[in-house]
Amino acid sequence: MTAYSPFFHQLEHRLTTHEPRLLSLDQPRAGVLVPLVDNAGDPSLLLTVRASHLNSHPGDIAFPGGMWEPEDTSLQATALRETHEELNLSPDLIQVLGPLSTGLSKNGVQVFPFVGKVSSLDQCVASPDEIAEWFTVPWAFFTDTAPRLQPIERHGISFQIPHYDYDGHHIWGLTAMILLELVNLTEGTDWPLPAFTGVTRPGRL
């Protein structure tokens, strides 16, 4: 798969030169996909609503993904495997464009995000074991809408959590922080991002 549209061409170039901040902690690790859909030159972001019966973050808006398993060859492989399990999207439909900085969940899980271009949503079906529903947000919404920033202290660090509201969905927390780095990278903005402790030198995964 090749990124043809100007949006994806620019994003792919910027991710190629981007140096994400990587965490290296003795903590569990997870991989998530930040899925973007071309839509004939009108890109959108794919998000999920976690099932209400889950023990962790029930009902929250999230990116597809989950915990690293020993059979995963990399955290990128984790993100693709979990996306397939949660949404029935085969890795063959996804072009991984590059990583973003590691996030740290409120439970102390290191979350490694990977931006991916999804070629089609025709096969996208939520697994009821994990996902209540999925939806898309036009990328233009994030370029036109400023996030609400809420001060908070977590893991001994003071920072601001972004909040977005779109079509009845509340996007916030780590999902919104990961998203905000992508907005900064794509749009040239400078929204504040947390600098978690335990960061190694900027690097590539």
pLDDT of residue 44: 97
What is d(CA 83, CA 123) in angstroms, rounded to the nearest whole number?
12
Task: Tell me if residue 181 falls in helix, strand or coil.
Answer: helix
Query: Backbone phi, then psi, for 76, in 5-degree steps?
Result: -65, -40
Question: 3: closest CA among 183, 12, 33?
Answer: 12
> Using CA of residue 153, residue 102, residue 166, residue 184, what is the dihedral sign?
positive
Which two structure tokens, joined as six digits, stand for 1? Answer: 């798969």
Are 96 and 204 in contact by the 8 Å Cβ rule? The answer is: no
The SS3 of residue 5 is coil
Rounded to whole angstroms, the Cα distance separating 79 from 81 reads: 6
pLDDT confidence of residue 153: 80
Separation CA 7–CA 135 (nearest Å): 20
Q: Are strands 103-104 and 65-67 parallel, antiparallel or unpaired?
A: unpaired
Q: Please tell me whether the overall predicted TM-score, pTM, comes out greater than 0.95 for this model.
A: no
pLDDT score of 196: 63
> Residue 4's pLDDT is what?
60
Residues in the chain predicted with pLDDT less than 50, given as ranges, are 1-3, 201-205
Q: What is the CA radius of gyration of the chain?
A: 16
In this prediction, residue 58 carries a pLDDT of: 64
Per-residue model confidence (pLDDT) at position 35: 98
